[in-house]
Amino acid sequence: MKKAILLSLLVVSSLSGVAQKLSVEKESINVGQVLYRNPVTVEFKLTNKGYKPLRIEKVRTSCGCTTVAYANETIAGGKEYILKATYDAATLGHFQKEIGLYINDRKRPLMLKIRGVVVDELKDYIGNYPYDLGDLKTDKNQIEFDDINRGDRPSVKIHIYNNGDQVAEPQVMHLPNYLTAEIAPSKIAPRHQGEVILTLDTKKLRDLGLSQTSVYLGFAPGEKVSSETELPVTAVLLPSFQNMTREELAQAPKLKLSTENLDLGEFHEKKKLKGMIEIFNAGQTTLEIRNLQMFTTGLEVALNKTKIAPRESAKLKIAATRDIRKVQRPRVLMITNDPEHPKVIININVK
């Protein structure tokens, strides 16, 4: 009986802890470019996910340049509330302004951020948007992070254009843990443009060589992923040779290929085309093929040995199936311990 009472008290305590919970749809909003002395207003969508009413008791901002409209607002359980904040844009350059919301259910404030850059002239991207991803048009339909090393944080910018009739709130979906996305501005009016910056954290990549994934650029929150909004992403992580001495470099393996462009000919009635490349080690120490991968489907590879002694060679057999004709730029990737050739790309040509 005592155990049952204790369990009931724990359940009630747990529910009361969850009962008062204020969540925010976006804690940080990037407004992109803002014209000098043209105040910009953003809206933070707050939701009381608990059962009891919550009250905004106090609001503090990081400077007098940011104002927040509120009046001791109470948010009923399960209800939403729009908090409007305005930045005066009176200073040129990048800005990040913080807003602290003091709620009656928590000791620490809920921190919100407004980010962007104040400019004296709005500068638009003047290039083309050749790719359609639903109602958004982009200047890229695939992302490549090439020749990166552990510890790097490279970024790629994607310019986007709202080709629809509604205001877009672009979302990058299915991001792996090694990618982050920043969208500016967070809302894009019809016939206006913005940008997405994808940043790669190489410390979170598991292996050397090729990592492949796909992210999806949605028009608004809640949109489902589809092949029409897919953005393939590839990253090639190289081994590091920065700490090698001159003597070690002089003794290093040296890779020589019979060709880096393998022509497999025409299919005609054949189901598969085959070819071979010789890998020769012209160096002083053992050459290691640390990774062997295909960028695309429709390829098969076989290597007779991954460690090649000095003055010896290995055979890399490559076969292509008919699926290869559906693929653009079929390639094979090799990662080696040759400091001069840590990454080798073999291009495959078929007719």
Distances (CA, A) of 3 to 6, 7, 11: 5, 6, 12
pTM: 0.74
Residue 80 placed within a domain: yes
99 and 65 in one domain? yes
Tell me which long-range contacts 91-100 makes (C-beta under 8 A, separation of at least 24): 91/65, 91/118, 92/36, 92/118, 92/119, 92/120, 93/117, 93/118, 97/61, 97/62, 97/63, 97/65, 97/66, 98/61, 98/62, 99/59, 99/60, 99/61, 99/62, 99/66, 99/68, 100/59, 100/60, 100/61
111 and 37 in one domain? yes
* 3-state secondary structure string across the chain: CHHHHHHHHHHHHHHHHHHCCEEECCCEEEEEEEECCCCEEEEEEEEECCCCCEEEEEEEECCCCEEEECCCCEECCCCEEEEEEEECCCCCEEEEEEEEEEECCCCCCEEEEEEEEEECCCCCCCCCCCEEECCEEECCCCEEEEEEECCCCCEEEEEEEECCCCCECCEEECCCCCEEEEEECCCECCCCEEEEEEEECHHHCCCCEEEEEEEEEECCCCCCCCHHHEEEEEEEEECCCCCCCHHHHHCCCCEEECCCEEECCCCCCCCEEEEEEEEEECCCCCEEEEEEEECCCCEEEEECCCEECCCCEEEEEEEEEHHHHHCCCCEEEEEECCCCCCEEEEEEECC
Cα–Cα dist 220/164, whole Å: 12
CATH number of the structural domain spanning residue 63: 2.60.40.10
State residue 11's pLDDT score.
40
Count of domains in the chain? 3
pLDDT in tens, 218-263: 999 989 999 999 999 999 999 988 889 999 999 999 999 999 999 9
State residue 73's pLDDT score.
75
260 and 231 in one domain? no
Question: For residue 42, what are its two tokens?
Answer: 């953003």
306 and 220 in one domain? no
Residue 13 placed within a domain: no
pLDDT in tens, 133-160: 999 999 999 999 998 999 999 999 999 9
230 and 322 in one domain? no
Show which of 213, 238, 263 is a domain's final residue.
238
139 and 227 in one domain? yes
Residue 244 placed within a domain: no
Q: For 279, how many CA atoms within 13 A lie in the half-sphere containing its CB? A: 29
Question: For residue 199, what are its two tokens?
Answer: 């940043």
Q: Which domain holds residue 316?
A: 252-349
330 and 302 in one domain? yes
Residue 344 placed within a domain: yes
Q: Which residues pair with 219 in a beta bridge?
A: none
Residue 14 placed within a domain: no
Residue 327 placed within a domain: yes
135 and 233 in one domain? yes
96 and 157 in one domain? no
Residue 126 placed within a domain: no
Residue 193 placed within a domain: yes
How would you write the pLDDT of the chain (351 residues) with one tens digit per residue?
444 433 443 443 343 444 458 889 889 888 888 889 999 999 899 999 988 899 888 899 999 999 998 777 789 999 999 999 999 999 999 999 999 999 987 788 999 999 888 999 878 888 899 999 999 999 999 999 998 999 999 999 999 999 999 999 999 999 999 999 999 999 999 989 999 999 999 999 988 999 999 999 999 998 999 999 999 999 999 998 888 999 999 999 999 999 999 999 998 888 899 999 999 999 999 999 999 998 888 899 999 999 999 999 999 999 999 888 666 789 999 999 999 999 999 999 988
**Residue 103 and residue 55 in contact, taking contact as beta carbons nearer than 8 Å:** yes
327 and 280 in one domain? yes
